[in-house]
Structure 1
Amino acid sequence: MTGGHTLLGDWARAAPERTALVQGDRCLTYSQLDAASDRLARDLRAAGAGDESVVGLHLDRSVELVIAVLGIWKAGAAYTPLVGDDPRSRRMTVLSDTGCSLMVVAQEHVDPDLAAKLRVLDVRKPCSAEPYHHGDVSGDQLAYVLYTSGSTGAPKGALVEHRGVVNLARALAEEFGDLDGARVFQFAPVTFDAWVWELAMSVLNGGTLCIPETRGELSGAELARQLRLYDTTHLSAAASLLRSLPVEDPPPVRTLVSGGEPLARELVERWADRVRVFNAYGPTEVTVGATLARCFPGEPKPAIGRPLRGVAVRLLDEAGAPVPPGAAGEIHLGGVQVARGYLARPELTAERFHAGPDGDPPGRWFRTGDLAVWRPDGQLDFVGRADRQLNVHGFRIEPVEVEHALCRHPRVTAAAVTSRSDADGAQQLVAYLHTPGGEQLPVPELRRVARETLPAHMVPSVYVAVAGLPLTAHGKVDHSALPEPGSQRPPLGYDFVPPRGETEERMARLWERLLGVTGIGADDEFADLGGTSMHLVQLRKEIQQLWGVPLPLRDLSRTRTVRRLSAHLDSTEPTASEQTASNGPAIRAARRGVTARIRTRRQSGPDS
């Protein structure tokens, strides 16, 4: 078996003028992408990259990112993402673990800390135009090192090989049947293994990878607009993101793939009569996806399906024996997609990877920690976790790593982290903190401590101070006995400022309803109140319904208090599409009229 990039080469020869990548007005054909990645591979080899070496990636979602990954593979090396938003300590851990000495960037994204330690190659400035003839890459060579949350308090790097990437691409071609010529939306960040899934669905299978130009978060109506703009046929995303797509103005996709978190029956009922809906399952350690199910309306529960080609599944009990039919067992995955192990973590590798039982298939097996049952029709139903690992917005999170980070605060003596669903079903990460006498600590202070060592998706949204964590008879934290977070405004470390005026008062009430928090002040920060990206999506939708103004998510992120958001809303003029909408002018006029009457009453005095 060869490397993942050889699939690109096959298509470059079979359909050289077919579009491989598109971003805005930029298009690269398969022959152009093949040539550009060849040039980078030559420069990487000249700079010292070689078989099994690891090259850092410091690139945003872009055409250049795809060129970089393919070029690294052609040079015989593997990539690891170095994300600018991650804490410096986490990036330094990655550099130390991998022995990375080279980094591929785009010019405007050079991080000075990383540039001082690594040799930097700009993917946009190849050193020469000479042809490059790359050697063979074997299937068991390293393709990438992807870091995930660690149960010991430190992140762990999964070592994924080319054979897994190639098998994934071929398996997806069989499962979907229409990837040759498909237009696949590039949604996932490169730090998330779903990025490889999107690459496998598109460029490695003769399709077009559609890369949005926006760098902000995409969801709801804006995501639908982007899907329409690129005439997208295939979208893969977490269920919580798919839930935000507007039903009344659906995007033109013909295939939706949910993965990373449980898929609700309600979403299947909403979409499966319009498009094909698939539910995908698989951990990073088994090259993104291991099983896949086509979902249909009327089914009692969406299954996670059957194994992909080249993947084997066994459900085993705690003693390692197969469970009887209908019983829940831990999912053990085998086959060519199983990763090599964890980088420089032999004990953890031995704990999670094993040789497996005798017979077919031989090789490594991976203990997922997930529980499932076999259905009579031969599909798997996901049951839950055998351990404490959490899944929030498609990210698998080890609570211990978050707890260790929070205990760095000098007033926190112990911590317990869990997740909960809010009233709309969105997952939130909740931290319970043992402080002296249950002392309430300011949320911004706690978030700052967490951000020093954790990536953004692992920073808790809600913080609850307790005088003591509940314990079981064996002296362990009893997570079932942790109290529900209260609805009162949390301690923020700054004074409460009451909302003023109709817009601020209505906005504060809207925030209270969305976040489940009472007594929100005009200057309170959205994130400090427990707001997440999913809440922002819902907030945008509610604002458009109540005020008739579709605000971009970047505006909501920038104007992150009731006061600033209200002022921005009051100063926003309707667009041409709003002016022609049936309710746009009426809503705008009503809002201006209410605001004017309030100002008149204030100027005239309370008795006027």
Structure 2
Amino acid sequence: MNAASAARTVPELFASVAAAYPDAPAVVHRDTALEYRLLDQQSNRLARQLTALGVGPDTLVALAVPRSTELVVAVLAVLKAGGAYLPLDPDYPRDRLAHMVSDARPMLLLRTSSVGLPDTGLPEVVLDSPDTARELSRRSPASLGEDDLRSPLRPHHLMYVIYTSGSSGLPKGVAVTHEGVADLAVTQATRFGVAPGERVLQWASVSFDAAFWDIALALLSGATLVMADADDVLPGRPLRETLLKHDITHAVLPPVALSLTDSEGVLLGGTIMSTGDACTPALVRKWSPGRRMFNGYGPTEVTVGATIAGPIDDADRFGIGQPWTGGAVYVLDERLRPVPDGKEGELYLAGSGLARGYLNRPGLTAATFVPNPFGPPGSRMYRSGDRGRREKDGSFSFTGRADDQVKVRGFRIELGEVEACLGRHPAVDLAVAMVEGQLADARVVAYATIRPGATVTPRDLRSAAADALPEWMVPARVTVLDSLPTLPNGKIDRQALGRPGGTPTAPRRSLDADASAEEVLCAEVGALLGLPSVDPSDNLFEIGANSLVVARLVSAVDKELGVRLPLRAVFESASLAELAGVLRELMP
């Protein structure tokens, strides 16, 4: 396929690959492998079941399926039926899931029996139930034609809806169509040259658009998509072991994962792309030798990405690169005039990969997806809020944000949503959120003032936030103040609250050789979270930990004691004392 190819849909692109490589392995998870022929047939059967239930173009189907071959079958089946998928992460707070369902209004939920969700009120198909197995066995495995669909699928129809953090206090759904898929496939083919026999790691959760990059990179090229369990792709030793075990040749990872993972001996001769946050020269020097390394950029409001730089051969001189096939990037001033090369402005994105807009948010869509004065009549461009510049060689550089949106561990966060969440607590008068630290140490922290007469603890406020926000948005620390510092103009003085780029650190306690398991754990957790003291009765997650902290804790204990804590035990232990009991059993 070349850049002149007419826009096509995912089912059309996948069908041509499945026909060319029917016996090649398409998806691998644990001990299960599906060849392209079998993946095609299974997704065809499920697609026929979905069309019988009313799924068609521009209808949404919610997915609550763990990492597995079933997840890939489900995604393909929804798209083959003409529908669009809405991923629901079972680990999200109930209120957030309820908002996503009520806002998106999917017509159907696909899940597996292992997934428990709050009552969505949606009709369900339980993919691994005997009833579903019997129903699918009666469906034809043959490819679907337009006569099999409720109406023809076209590139302008929806492909997926991904919810991102919203400055208004509620997440917003980005509605992406099939229009950018053909150009995405061309970009992947020309820049990465993935071929049958190569293996692509599925690192990102399906709840994020980066997961679609992994799926397309493998399944639209004839390569193998390796699905690893969530515990096996945690940054550090688990991710490294997964890369080695599955002989991964292509991986897309955020800088925080690259910073915590040993590069020695992995992905040699392969391809690595950093995306989701600003890459650093140190990471390029660590990961580029012996590999092709790329740096990608693009918000959720485009089809996964907008620009790619690489292969990078100079750690001190790289940016976000050139636009994808079919895309355009403009650096504009506040009056939408191009700024000269080398000068900073706001990045506006245009081209085939542009999202339709925000689901059910016409006002926000109109304000953010604006008419494109540089394109054909009727075309639009996305106001990214990112700052950058165009270099003299035509490449682009990212220089920062123009608003309060931040990236933490590769996740996009509107600090306004965190502040609004805390502000909904009846005891809170004002709340401010900010980010401390860089890369692996970056964390959201918050400060709050309390209404007169109210009684609430910082732990109460953090617990309330954890009930409403996904894990990566929950403040690691909430500090209650009598008042918030202000500038002469009356605005909150964020610099007086804490130094951006500085992370609170607690000195690691000196431990002798006879230190108990509890003492070791408390010392390591205190150092990781920047807490002056940690008690064995503390719950790791209630005092500010997240999945990244877990990965670093496992690595630290392994280095300190030569014992590898099971990740499941870390997540399931009610207290550090309970986790210490697990550690004692493993110690020689």
TM-score (norm 2): 0.90
- Name the stretch that deviates more: 32-41 or 352-361: 352-361
- Counterpart for residue 509 of structure 1: 523
Q: What is the distance in 1 between the residues matched to 2:447 and 2:353?
A: 37
The structural deviation recorded for 1:426 is 1.8
- Counterpart for residue 125 of structure 2: 121
The structural deviation recorded for 1:5 is 1.8
The structural deviation recorded for 1:538 is 2.1
Change (3 A) 1:134 1:445: farther
- Counterpart for residue 478 of structure 1: 493
1:236 aligns with 2:246: no
1:86 aligns with 2:92: yes
1:133 aligns with 2:144: yes
Q: What is the distance in 2 between the residues matched to 1:502 and 1:441?
A: 34
- Name the stretch that deviates more: 427-436 or 311-320: 427-436
Contact 2:459 2:542 in 1 (8 A): yes
1:432 aligns with 2:447: yes
Please point out which of 195, 199, 211 is paired with 2:227.
211
1:68 aligns with 2:74: yes
- Counterpart for residue 524 of structure 1: 538
C-alpha distance after superposition, 1:389-443 (max 9, x if no partner): 0111111111111111111222211111111106x85210111112247998434
Please point out which of 58, 62, 66 is paired with 1:52.
58
Q: Which amino acid aligns with 2:550?
A: L
1:35 aligns with 2:45: no
Change (3 A) 1:138 1:90: same
- Counterpart for residue 470 of structure 2: 455
Q: What is the distance in 2 between the residues matched to 1:206 and 1:474?
A: 59
Q: Which amino acid aligns with 2:319?
A: A
Q: What is the distance in 2 between the residues matched to 1:376 and 1:153?
A: 40
- Counterpart for residue 191 of structure 1: 207
- Counterpart for residue 341 of structure 2: 325
Change (3 A) 1:312 1:235: same
Q: What is the distance in 1 between the residues matched to 2:313 and 2:537?
A: 45
Q: What SS does structure 1 have at the residue aligned with 2:85? A: strand
Q: Which amino acid aligns with 2:305?
A: G
Q: Which amino acid aligns with 1:173?
A: A
- Counterpart for residue 23 of structure 1: 29
- Counterpart for residue 598 of structure 1: none
Q: Which amino acid aligns with 1:123?
A: L
Change (3 A) 1:361 1:505: farther
1:345 aligns with 2:361: yes
Q: Which amino acid aligns with 1:28?
A: L
Q: What SS does structure 2 have at the residue aligned with 1:172? A: helix
Q: Which amino acid aligns with 2:464?
A: V
Q: What SS does structure 2 have at the residue aligned with 1:525? A: coil
TM-score (norm 1): 0.87
Paired residues for 1:5-20 under 5 Å: 5-20=11-26
User: Percent of pairs identical after alignment?
Assistant: 37
Paired residues for 1:481-496 under 5 Å: 481-483=496-498
C-alpha distance after superposition, 1:509-553 (max 9, x if no partner): 333322222122222222333333322222222211211112232
- Counterpart for residue 570 of structure 2: 556
C-alpha distance after superposition, 1:54-103 (max 9, x if no partner): 11111111111111111111111111112222222222222222221211
Q: What is the distance in 1 between the residues matched to 2:452 and 2:406?
A: 29
- Name the stretch that deviates more: 271-280 or 118-127: 118-127
RMSD: 2.4
Contact 2:306 2:327 in 1 (8 A): yes
- Name the stretch that deviates more: 193-202 or 503-512: 503-512
Q: Which runs of 5+ in 2 are unaligned?
A: 1-6, 147-151, 508-513
Q: Which amino acid aligns with 1:150?
A: G
Q: What is the distance in 2 between the residues matched to 1:46 and 1:298?
A: 55
- Name the stretch that deviates more: 458-467 or 506-515: 506-515
The structural deviation recorded for 1:348 is 0.5
Q: How many residues align?
A: 561
Change (3 A) 1:295 1:253: closer
Q: What is the distance in 2 between the residues matched to 1:222 and 1:389?
A: 30
The structural deviation recorded for 1:110 is 5.2
1:395 aligns with 2:411: yes
- Name the stretch that deviates more: 143-152 or 353-362: 353-362
The structural deviation recorded for 1:467 is 1.7
Q: Which amino acid aligns with 1:482?
A: L
The structural deviation recorded for 1:203 is 0.6
- Counterpart for residue 373 of structure 1: 389
- Name the stretch that deviates more: 297-306 or 163-172: 297-306
- Counterpart for residue 603 of structure 1: none
Q: What is the distance in 2 between the residues matched to 1:501 and 1:438?
A: 44
C-alpha distance after superposition, 1:326-358 (max 9, x if no partner): 111111000000001111111110111012114
The structural deviation recorded for 1:10 is 0.3
Q: What SS does structure 1 have at the residue aligned with 2:310? A: strand
Q: What is the distance in 1 between the residues matched to 2:116 and 2:427?
A: 37
The structural deviation recorded for 1:197 is 0.6
C-alpha distance after superposition, 1:238-296 (max 9, x if no partner): 11011222244545571111111111111110111121111110001011111011153
C-alpha distance after superposition, 1:437-490 (max 9, x if no partner): 79984344223211332222211111121222233344333323324586689x
The structural deviation recorded for 1:49 is 1.0
